[in-house]
Every structure is written in structure tokens, then in C-alpha cells.
Structure 1
């Protein structure tokens, strides 16, 4: 009887798969800020019921990716510059501390893991496979936080992951960003490899600062285009 009552959690549910697909569509820019999310269209595109779509939209609203407008319905949430700035401030503080701890506790195995991930990111940048860049960048930070034993900090960052990836999708596609991003992240990785906590924290902080500047400039450009 106990076995009959046990829930099999090994496979994702239809709702979870739909949530992942729609979150990815927003994070990668398939749906852009301000785009309407029409339930009937989403049902047809995703091949699921309206009930599932509504549940997923409500969940994405809690993540800050979707907002509901009176007399219009759900849309992709617009990126508020003040909120974006705050997200980068949180990232800079937490990631720099994680980078410091990771460097101080680094093992050869962890450094190799981070280098292997970095190779995947560089290859993805070269092939302009931005979806893979996002996936492996998330893996890099997960390994860095774990290596520094800063998993509570990582939980805070993960709570913002949907919006962080939405911003990453915007910044990594900017001209010349692949070269700059690879240089900045390899500087961070080199500091971790040398077990230099101060240098790792500084490299991490600088990377986030530069990324934030690109994001804020891009948002300003889009706002100017909209108003003109």
C-alpha cells in the first residue's frame, strides 16, 4: 500500500515541462518585454490545455517574468531599470563573495570542472549558440557557489535566475561581448586556480559591473526607440 501511494518524482510533469519551455522562450528573447501572452496561442504553440497555461503564467508572474495588465491580460514583464540595477548589485555582492570562498577552498578537481565548463561556453560563443552559453554559464556559477560552500547564497541567486537569464540573453548578444565576457571570466577562473581569494572577488565584481553597464545602456537605447 505504501508503494502505491509513493509519487514518482523522477520524470517532470507536463506542467513542469511547459513552465520550462515558456520560461526559456522569455529568457532567450523569443517573447520580448511587453509582448502579449495570449492563452489560446500558447495552448496551440505548446500543445497543452488552457488550465496548464494558466498555471504556468501564474508561476512566471511570481518569478517576475510575467505581469497582468488590466483589460489586456498577461504580458512579458517589462524590465524596470531600477530593478535591473538592484539585481546586478545583488549579483555583485553574492558572486564576489562566492568567488573569494571558491578560490580559497579550490581543489584541482573543482578547477578542472570549471575549466571544462569554460571551454563549453567559449565554444558556444564561437558558434553563436547563446542558448548553450546561458546553460553552461548557469552551471559555472552553480559549481563556483558549491565550491565555495555558499549554497544559501546560491539559493538567493537562483530565486532571481529567471530574470538574470533574461538579462544575460540580452547582454551576451551585444556586439563584441563574447570576447570581453570570455576575458573577464577567464581572469576569474585564473584567480580561482591560483587560490587567490582577493583577485577572484575583484574579477567577479568587475565582470558583473561591466555586464550591468551593458544592460543599462541597452535598456536606455530601447526606451529611447520606444519613445521616438
Structure 2
């Protein structure tokens, strides 16, 4: 005679330690890989001017300085090339991408459209804890102005705009800005270091903040455009001066 066995159900299993069942804890920050660390260090070095525009990026010295393999360096160079920070020159190899006004002007035009639109929409529709998030982002930016390195200012500025774009629902526009972020950051370092800036960058950011929280869409867009026009004028003077210098040296 055969015996028919029924499959056990979840109720048949006992919890010997009487542990209350709960969801697994979410991993908030995935650990960085070696490649991620090298990419971030190289990216920061280029943005802050450790490597000059046009300077060759030679694999062997980079391997020795960073203590990594040639494979990691090659992957990093490909990543930085995609971000517009590195150029591959035939018969010469990778160099730090040159900055010129034609490219910079296009970047500023894109920023003016996307950032101005996001600020205007945000002023009209923001809610929830947005005001607190933007206030925190502005405070972080203000604190970073005293840093000896520019990378803190870059990150704080990026966070300030990220809060605005996402509250406006402009996630795709933010993705476009992020793809240009390496080149935007290089231009920011140029303009932030200028001594003859008519209005400090942080004053512009405060004007954007005030206009958005006042729900004045027109003023928010105008504040963004004033900020970008100021920065672009400084970048234009610097880059044209550098272009003239290169031509004379050549």
C-alpha cells in the first residue's frame, strides 16, 4: 500500500528562536570598486587642474602613482573619454581634453535652458520637504566655499541643482546635465577662481533659492540665467586668452 505524502506548507515550519520576520535591510551605499575609486581620483585631478589641458596621460606613471594595473587605467581613460574629459589623439595617445570657447558656449546655452526651466517649474509646483532639502543644500554649498579644494564646491553645487531638477520632475533633463557634468565642473573651477567676478557665485545661488521659495517662477528663471551669463562671460575671457596664448606659442 502506498502512502501519499502532502507537501509541507509554510505554517508547518517552526521558528526555533522566535525571531520576528522582517524585510532584509537595504544596502544604502554599495562599496566602491577599485575602478570606481581610480575613475573618481582621475576625474577630480583633471577638474582641479592637476593635469593641464593637452597633457598626455601616460599609462606607466599613472599605474605607479595609483598602484593599479594597466587594465584599470585603460578602463578609466575610456570612461573619462566618454565624459569629454579625455581625448584620444592618433599616434600620440590619450590627453586631457582641451577647453575652448566654442564648446563652452554650447554647454552654457544648454545649462541656461535646462536649469532655467527646472527652476521655474520648481517654483510653481514644489511641496513636501523640498524647502528643507534646498535649504540644506544651500547651507552645504556655503560651508564648502571655505574648503581649500574645489571638489567640495562642485559636489555641493551639483546637489543644489539635483534637488531642483527632481522636484520639478525633470529627471531626463538632469540626466543630460549629468552627462556634461565633467566639463561643467572644469568650467566652474575656472569661474570660481576668478578674482574679478562682478557678483560672487554664492550670491547667485542665494537669489535662485529665494526666488524658488517665493514661488516666483519668472524671478527663478531670471536668477538662473543671470548666474550662467555671469559665469559664461568669465569663461569666455579666460578661454580666449588661453587660445591666443597657445596660438602664439605654436
TM-score in terms of structure 1 length: 0.90
Q: Distance in 2 between matches of 1:78 and 1:162?
A: 13
Q: Which residue of structure 1 aligns with residue 34 of structure 2? A: 14
The counterpart of 2:241, out of the listed 218, 221, 225, is: 221
The counterpart of 1:70, out of the listed 75, 87, 90, is: 90
Matched, 1:92 2:112: yes
- Name which one, 1 or 2, has greater alpha-carbon Rg: 2
Using CA pairs under 8 Å that are at least 6 residues apart, name the structure with larger relative contact order, 1 or 2. Answer: 1
Q: Distance in 1 between matches of 2:64 and 2:135?
A: 41
Matched, 1:83 2:111: no
Q: Which residue of structure 1 aligns with residue 124 of structure 2? A: 104
The counterpart of 2:215, out of the listed 183, 190, 195, is: 195
Alignment coverage as a number of residue pairs: 220
Matched, 1:27 2:47: yes
Q: Distance in 1 between matches of 2:194 and 2:148?
A: 11
Matched, 1:208 2:228: yes
4+ residue runs of structure 1 moved beyond 3 angstroms?
126-129, 176-179
Unaligned runs of 5+ in 2: 1-28
CA contact (8 A) 1:18 1:46 kept: yes
Q: Using the TM superposition, give the Cα deviation of residue 44 of structure 1 relative to its aligned residue in structure 2, in angstroms.
A: 1.2
Q: Which residue of structure 1 aligns with residue 153 of structure 2? A: 133
Which structure has the highest helix share of the two? 1
Unaligned runs of 5+ in 1: 1-8
Matched, 1:114 2:134: yes
Cα RMSD after superposing both structures:
1.8
